[in-house]
Chains A and B, each alone.
Chain A
Amino acid sequence: MDEAVDLWSYLARDPMLWLTATLLAYIAAERLSEMAGRHPLANPVLIAVILLAALLTATGTPYATYFEGAQFVHFMLGPATVALALPLYDNLARVRASLLPMAAALVAGSLTAIFSALGIAWALGVRGEVLVSLAPKSATAPVALGVSEAVGGQPSLTAVLVILTGITGAVVATPMLNALGIRDWRARGFAVGVAAHGIGTAQAFRVHSTAGAFSGIGMGLNAVLTAILAPLVVGLLL
């Protein structure tokens, strides 16, 4: 028994364990998602997060310990963002033909995200720094955290809101847009990238390569626009 405890305390400290667990949880989540016929509710990010959170709780592992291993996966977000240059390049003709629709969708989606989040939360009684932490939640995490800090929000709360927004967008977009009968992959992808940043983009790539390319563009442009608009809107309203 003591040996088992020793072995566990060795493994639990080794970053290898949680790196491996992250990859296995993701593979299991992908498999479950396939089994569910790729139903959007069976989102692999959501399933993998639930599996790992349950495992961390069951083993009493703090998040900081987990992240020592998982950071190697997390780190790849930067290079993956740079890699979005390829779908942008491959879709250049389509992008050139869609500049005006993209501009309209960017402004409409970005403003709606900021105003409706603040409006709904305000109507439900949220005030102060918790409320302003919501403003940049549709932007990609590094931008959202910077904006949150600049407008007097709580960056750690904004980080949570950003991730939950991404998962929400990834889960609701496909069934909602299918139900509405919208088949323009450019419009679908772009709107999801604006509203739900990288997690929405990951889902868009699972649905259609054109949607993924446009989603990546939407995410990048909304990062810039939110950094400009969110402080203005917060200054105007609050």
Chain B
Amino acid sequence: MIRNIAVLLVFQLAGETLARGLGLTVPGPVLGLAGLFALFALRPAVADRMRETCRGLLGHLSLLFVPAGVGVTAHLTTFGADGPALLAALVGSTVLAILAGVFAFLAVAQLTGSEAAEEPSDG
């Protein structure tokens, strides 16, 4: 467990270092993700060993956004008079972006014949 967390931190740190060093816009943790993925592809045994730790963290991903979410409530006044318009733009564009993404995915999947195999629901 400690070893697995250390692996995650090492890849994050390497990603941050690379992003800063090369002045990339990609966040360090995303580069770390790519690096760890490459390690898994080379050494599948590492993926098996880290499975429980990764699943544990991702199973409670929601928790990790709570502190930032509380920060939002402290800054709601920054909206000022534009509040209702900004909220309308947020909700409208999020709905439209999800729909555009889903339908583009399904259309191209159908064209290229890569439709999903039936998968049972997780419940």
Q: Is there an interface contact between A130 and B86, defined as CB atoms closer than 8 Å?
A: yes
How many chain B residues sit at the interface, stated as a range, is 35 or more
Q: Which of B34, B37, B67, B82 has the most CB of A within 10 A?
A: B67
The 8 Å CB contact of B98, one of A73, A90, A97, A192, is: A192
- A81 and B32 in contact, given A101-B108, A166-B65 (Cβ under 8 angstroms): yes
- For the residues of B in contact with A, the DSSP-based class is helix
How many chain A residues sit at the interface, stated as a range, is 35 or more
In B78-123, the 8 Å CB interface with A consists of: 78-79, 82, 84-109, 112, 114-116, 119, 121-122
Q: Is there an interface contact between A134 and B78, defined as CB atoms closer than 8 Å?
A: no
User: Is B21 positioned at the interface, with any CB of A under 8 Å from its CB?
Assistant: no
B residues adjacent to A (C-beta < 8 A): 5, 8-9, 11-12, 15, 25-30, 32-37, 39-41, 47, 50-51, 53-55, 57-76, 78-79, 82, 84-109, 112, 114-116, 119, 121-122
Residues of B within 8 A of A177 (CB): 98, 102
Q: Is there an interface contact between B105 and A186, defined as CB atoms closer than 8 Å?
A: yes
Residues of A within 8 A of B97 (CB): 109-110, 112-113, 116, 138, 191, 194-195
Tell me the bound Cα distance from A84 to B53 in angstroms: 11
Residues of A within 8 A of B106 (CB): 101, 182, 184, 187
Q: Is there an interface contact between A223 and B30, defined as CB atoms closer than 8 Å?
A: yes
Give 9 A-B pairs besides A160-B78, A220-B33 with Cβ atoms closer than 8 angstroms.
A56-B73, A78-B29, A83-B57, A113-B94, A121-B82, A159-B75, A168-B94, A172-B94, A184-B116
- A205 and B58 in contact, given A100-B112, A176-B95 (Cβ under 8 angstroms): yes
Q: How many Å from the CB of B38 to the closest CB on chain A?
A: 9
In A181-212, the 8 Å CB interface with B consists of: 182-188, 190-192, 194-196, 198-199, 201-203, 205-210, 212
